Amino acid sequence: MADILQAIKGMNDILPPDSARWEWLEETVRALMRRYGYSNIRTPIVEPTALFVRGLGEVTDIVEKEMYSFADSLNGDRLTLRPEGTAGVVRAMNEHSFLYEGGKRLFYIGPMFRHERPQKGRYRQFHQVGAEALGFAGPDVDAELILMTVALWRDLGLSVGTDVRLELNSLGQPDERRAHREALIKHFELHADKLDEDGKRRLHSNPLRILDTKNPAMQPVVEAAPKLMDFLGEASLAHFNAVKQVLDAAGVVYKVNPRLVRGMDYYNLTVFEWVTDRLGAQGTICGGGRYDGLIEQLGGKPAPAVGWGLGMERLLLLLQELGIESPSNAPDAVALVFAGTPLSTVMSTIEALRQAGVRVLLNPAGRDGPASPKAQFKKADASGARFALIFGPDEVAQGQVAVKPLRDGGEQLAQPLAQPAAWAESLRAHRQS
């Protein structure tokens, strides 16, 4: 027998019943986006490599180490499996002149790819939810996007401040960052002997990323580095203060973290992250900020933008760690078909129930016909359904189906086969989701 082929390391199958948790999260996100007026966008998984080099920055970890890039075998074009979603959304806006009539609020759900060492909560194929507000310059939209994440945590049963915490910073504008950059280089040059190899490599190319190091040995020199907040001008500070005022008025607790820089080069002004202590090293659940220069950087007309992305795997791990379960995906009823019952009667009845919104699982017969009643009831109980629909020859001959409760007791009832829509609601009413 041939060897069984296996999935690529770090790219995982999502099987039932676990897939039901994913569906619940996706449905919760879609309902949230509708409330806030965000429309769905779906961009290709494969994009030109240049999109990410130009958009994310050549000296970011993603571009330098993590992208899955290859040459198209037909024409030699350099292509990349998308490592994040924002650049592709901006490319689509530019290509289709989608901002011509004004700003757009968009969201996406889908897989991303990064070539890194797989570990719990960090995979080579991972899934993100992203929200992008393009064409809006004011701090009100920054604050609204953060409040949207607060609403999502509430919808999922997470406690803000306990289960997840908000960290906030401002990166200012390019000229302010340039002045800060020069001060950083001078500072780190004075302490070059304390830098690791990544720090030395980034010293003159991207010193801001040194602040994001996870190397414990570098923390003292990083803590002593000049703070960007001290270089911000009046307009940048006013924008940041306006965001904080909205969050304060809404009662959202946050911490200003002057070392928060995010992983992409395109951010300016507001940046934020939602973090947790429940998942070890993989503590960032959601992050984002403003990226006013990216649309022009990728060839479009200058326009402001702000957004966030969250890792679905990490969020689901957090929910699991906290014991937060998704609503039951069990059927409302299981149809049990006993020997001698006309199959056409059974199928027409359960199809009518399904059209009335009832979740009905058919217990199928084997090659030798229906299983014994005992075996069928055992399967019905294992399905999690609340009712068994008993299609026996005697019941059907009387124009009835027996409805037997499988949970919480209750009496068995006889319902008319000719009018399934009339009693469908009695099956749906017991649904837990």
What global pTM score does this model have?
0.88
Which residue bears the tokens 């008993």?
Answer: 390
Can you tell me the distance from the alpha carbon of 258 to that of 273, in angstroms, rounded to the nearest whole number?
12
Reduce the DSSP state of residue 402 to 3 states and report it. Answer: strand
| Owner of token pair 């950059």 | 181
Closest Cα to residue 421, out of 342, 347, 355, 332? 355
Q: What is the DSSP string of 305-349?
A: EEEEEEEHHHHHHHHHHTT-PPPP---SEEEEE-TT--HHHHHHH
In 3D space, the residue among 327, 343, 324, 323 whose CA is nearest the CA of residue 335 turns out to be 343
Adjacent-strand bridge partners of 113? 125
- What are 194-220's pLDDT values in tens digits? 888 888 888 888 887 788 788 888 899
Question: Tens-digit pLDDT profile for the chain (433 aa)?
Answer: 678 999 999 999 999 999 999 999 999 999 999 999 999 999 999 999 999 998 887 767 788 789 999 999 999 999 999 999 999 999 999 999 999 999 999 999 999 999 988 888 889 999 999 999 999 999 999 999 999 999 999 999 999 999 999 999 999 998 998 898 899 899 988 888 888 888 888 888 888 778 878 888 889 998 899 988 899 999 999 999 999 999 999 999 999 998 887 766 788 999 999 999 988 877 899 999 999 999 999 999 999 999 999 999 999 999 999 999 998 889 999 999 988 888 899 999 999 999 999 999 998 877 667 788 888 889 989 999 999 999 999 989 999 999 999 987 788 999 999 999 999 999 988 775 4
Whether residue 17 is preceded by a cis peptide bond, meaning omega within 30 degrees of 0, is yes
Q: pLDDT tens digit string along 81-110?
A: 999 999 999 999 999 999 999 999 999 999
Q: Write down all domains in the chain, each with its CATH number in brackets.
A: 18-172+237-321 (3.30.930.10), 174-231 (no CATH), 333-428 (3.40.50.800)
CA 148 to chain centre: 13
Of 113, 49, 54, 82, nearest to 291 by C-alpha is 54
